Amino acid sequence: MATPFIFSRLNVFAQELNKEPVVINAGVGGNTTVDMLARINRDCLAQHPDLTILMAGTNDMNSKKYIPLVQYEKNMRSIIVKILDIGSQIILMPILPAYEPYLYTRHDKSFYEPEGYVGRKTEINSLIKNLASEFRLTFLDMHHIFEMIGNIGEDPDSLIQNEANSGKTDGLHPTQNGYRIMAVAIYECIIQNKLSHERVICLGDSITAGGYPDYLKKLLSTN
């Protein structure tokens, strides 16, 4: 005859099996890697994630708080090492493609000199990919996914916000469909690579804050 203790342990075991993953949105609008380093202890490390999804660099290269590539690399290395030191796995993603004409409503073209917008984006994304290889991180090429299916431009079905689908000359942030596609791609990456996902931190800027973590949580909860 089973004792109350055994029934109690079975109940706890069943709860653990049915426990939904925790997905924390640690995206903050306007953040550069400098800002993320300043809050990483509170918003990431102290949360004890077993998986951290990291996308950083859009503001480093596109905002008035521009961070030169050499400093960006130092910051990214520090962020990665801190996360690895607590035993968290990492999915590292490059920055997304943007609609270049809209960027010049934010900045003069001279802001991107001497390399130009495309050159600057290529440099930063190449660096991100190299860091993933060096640290043996899972690399998810979200830039390529958006380039292939995103129709980046001024059409209503663009996955990046524009006047036709949002009423704004944005050019940087995903639409809700864009966020859904991000979540699906991240979910498939987690499952295919058999990554831990009981406690997930999504660390980034406004692109992270905007919504993919909510969609990701729904997908992981069904797995």
Task: Note whether residue 140 is domain-resident.
Answer: yes
| Confidence band of 19 (pLDDT split at 50, 70, 90) | confident
Task: Note whether residue 12 is domain-resident.
Answer: no
The pLDDT of residue 16 is above 50: no
Task: Note whether residue 6 is domain-resident.
Answer: no
Task: Note whether residue 211 is domain-resident.
Answer: yes
Beta carbons of 25 and 213 less than 8 angstroms apart: yes
Tell me the pairing of strands 51-55 and 199-204.
parallel
Task: Note whether residue 176 is domain-resident.
Answer: yes
Q: How many CB atoms lie within 10 A of CB 108?
A: 8
Which CATH number covers residue 53?
3.40.50.1110
* Least confident piece of the model among 9-13, 27-31, 102-106, 173-177: 9-13
Give residue 7's pLDDT.
38
Task: Note whether residue 10 is domain-resident.
Answer: no
pLDDT of 55-101, one tens digit each?
999 999 999 999 999 999 999 999 999 999 999 999 999 999 999 99
Residue by residue, DSSP assigns 120-155 as: HHHHHHHHHHHHHHHTT-EE--HHHHHHHH---SSS
The pLDDT of residue 12 is above 50: no
Give residue 223's pLDDT.
63
Alpha-carbon dihedral angle through residues 23, 29, 30, 32, given to the nearest 10 degrees = 0
More confident residue, 46 or 16: 46
The pLDDT of residue 111 is above 80: yes
Task: Note whether residue 217 is domain-resident.
Answer: yes
More confident residue, 8 or 162: 162
By CB atoms closer than 10 A (0-12, 13-18, 19+), residue 211 is buried
Which residues on adjacent β-strands are paired with residue 9?
none
* Closest residue by Cα to residue 142 from 180, 176, 96, 175: 96
* Closest residue by Cα to residue 49 from 186, 200, 163: 200
* Domain, as residue range, for 142: 20-221
Task: Note whether residue 130 is domain-resident.
Answer: yes
Q: What is the mean pLDDT of residues 134-142?
A: 98
Domain count along the chain? 1
